[in-house]
Amino acid sequence: MSASSRLLDGIDSPADLKKIPEADLPLLAQEIREELIGTLAETGGHLGPNLGVVELTIALHRVFDTPADRILLDVSHQGYVHKMLTGRRTRLATMRQHGGLNGFLLRTESEHDCYGAGHAGTALSAALGMAAARDMNGGTEHVVAVAGDAAFTCGVSYEALNNVAETTKRFLVVLNDNEWSIAKNTGAIASYLNRIATSPSYAHLHDQAAKFVEWIGGKGARQLVGKIETGVKQILFPGVIFEELGLRYYGPIDGHDIPLLIRTFEFLKTQNEPVILHILTKKGKGYAPAMAKPDKFHGLGKYSADTGETAPGTAPTYSEIFGKTLADFADHNRKIVAVTAAMPTGTGLSQFAKRHPDRFYDVGIAEEHAALFAAGMATRGMKPFLAIYSTFMQRAFDMIVHDIALQNLNVALCMDRAGLSGDDGPTHHGLFDIAYLRSIPGVIAMQPKDEEEFVDMLWTMANHHEGPVAIRYPRGTGTGAVPKKTPRLLEIGKAEVIRHGTDVALFGLGNFCEVAGEVADLLEKEGIRAAVINPRWIKPLDSVSLEFFARGTRLVCTLEDHATSGGFGSAVAEHLSDTGITTPLLRIGWPDQFIEHGSGAILRAKYGLTPEAIAARIRGELSRTNPLPKAGAIS
């Protein structure tokens, strides 16, 4: 079949999909994979997860009718195929580009996206809420929640399952079991599902159950995996989780067999009871590089479609430096342990895990548990470094307050991807952590200006022995500053003055310290002398430096990769107000709204966070509040 006559080109809606002969659907799946591999090679994105759900997505849209029926995808990073089949195929090349398709499901993007997501574990609760509302309204639509097995390491999934039986009689959960979240799944749940999938006893019952399905559904349903009766299950698998929670369990079945999936969904949609279908899929299926390295191809930038190779990085990322540095420290300090929530590669801790496997803990997608687990270790004299992306650390806020800070436990909170997370969009931007951390008594918080200072801060954290200490650092690389072989201890609450000036004081936090330097250069060309200060410390503030420059300049300006509401600038404003200093303050950061997806350069330009735009705002503020002296007055 020529490229011009592809089946895929004739699909602009699920209705078009339903017109294709079932025998041709495997060919459609092949075309979708080819389109994904070729397009994402140019844009980057979540390739592996989407290659693994091609057949599943085809079968769901073949049997169910969106947008009337509701299909929720947990996390929704595996929603690219869904988007292709619901009228957005021609825009696939805009995926994760500014103004293009979002990398996750988005209610404002399509009526077929019934629920937005970006974090794990939300689908079951949200779907159950939809089912309850349907029942109250006397509706007939189907509600389907698709969750990967990694979502079942997330406590909120079980909170939802605990309420299913009491809430509705019509509810379908698809457990997409591929043994991976971003990294290899860990824990008892992953082992439990694997035992079900590989049990010889279950294989025998699978065949017997198929005869039952043939009896009720005819030859066409012969391959449908049948249910194991409760008594038999209790003998073979004591305490079967799902049926004990009130969901009839079916499976496991091949998640890449389209006819089998279609027959199964047609059967299950007739059931008047909550059901869970366990399917087995391969992450990255159909693309050898993605199957060989599922963690790498979970989400990545541009790559060669032929080989799967990505361009080598020019400098180590903050995450890579973190993993190596912490492993180095642990060589000489047996108290140091590393904890993460399904992010060993993303946080750089895979390096730590290789060198210190006995002191590395990946608890799965369970941020709340991770924080409590670290707290428990700290009570016994260990020094846990809890590494979680800023956007996901939000989930552990209560534990940071109630369990870590209130008890003054010696836990190091390491927030990767703090600040803008670019192409991943609003569900992944780390723009709120300063606001919630600085409100907690006893927490020390910092952000480095470059890689060298990052290592110094990690060393300072490792040698801090009283209470919680937090560090936030951005995605990707920094200025390229090479850390010294011997890190130095930093004085807590002491800023670094980079240059002096008498007109404006620029407090550039973290990666915005470099921006502050560029702004100062632009202002100097116009005779405006700017001081540049690297605050280092979010809490406690260097009150001495702040008050010195606030009293000695005509304007204080804070710059941060964080929302202005509640951020570093807000802390400065509160301190100036408390001390009665009336020097005008200009706070530069991200506005009080959810920031869309797009490259950092595009978004900074749009929201006025380039050096040129910031310099212009400073000039305007100086002119408005405190006019410049006449020409020649500045010596």
Its sign, for the CA torsion 174, 180, 185, 188, is: positive
367: annotated active-site residue:
yes
Q: Which residues pair with 496 in a beta bridge?
A: 534
Q: Which of 367, 452, 514, 560 is catalytic?
A: 367
SS3 content of the chain, % helix, strand, coil (to 5): 45, 15, 40
Report the DSSP beta bridge partners of residue 279: 176, 253
My answer on whether omega of the bond before 252 falls inside 30° of 0, hence cis, is yes
Pairing of strands 171-177, 143-148: parallel
Q: Among 33, 88, 383, 395, which one carries the catalytic annotation? A: 395
What letters, b where the CB count within 10 A reaches 16 and e where it falls short, cover 536-563? Answer: bbbbebbeebbbebbeebbbbbbbbbbb
Beta-strand pair 585-590/530-534: unpaired
Which one is catalytic: 227, 283, 417, 475?
283
Name the pairing type of β-strands 248-254 and 336-340. Answer: unpaired
Residue 591 CB coordination number (10 Å): 13
Backbone phi, psi, residue 61, to 5°: -75, -20
Q: Can you give the C-alpha Rg of the chain in angstroms?
A: 27
First to last CA, the chain: 77
Residue with tokens 């004990």: 244
User: At residue 355, what is the residue type?
Assistant: R
How many other CB atoms are there within 10 angstroms of residue 213's CB atom?
A: 21
For residue 299 the two structure tokens come to 């989400």
Question: 395 catalytic, yes or no?
Answer: yes
**Active site members:** 283, 367, 395
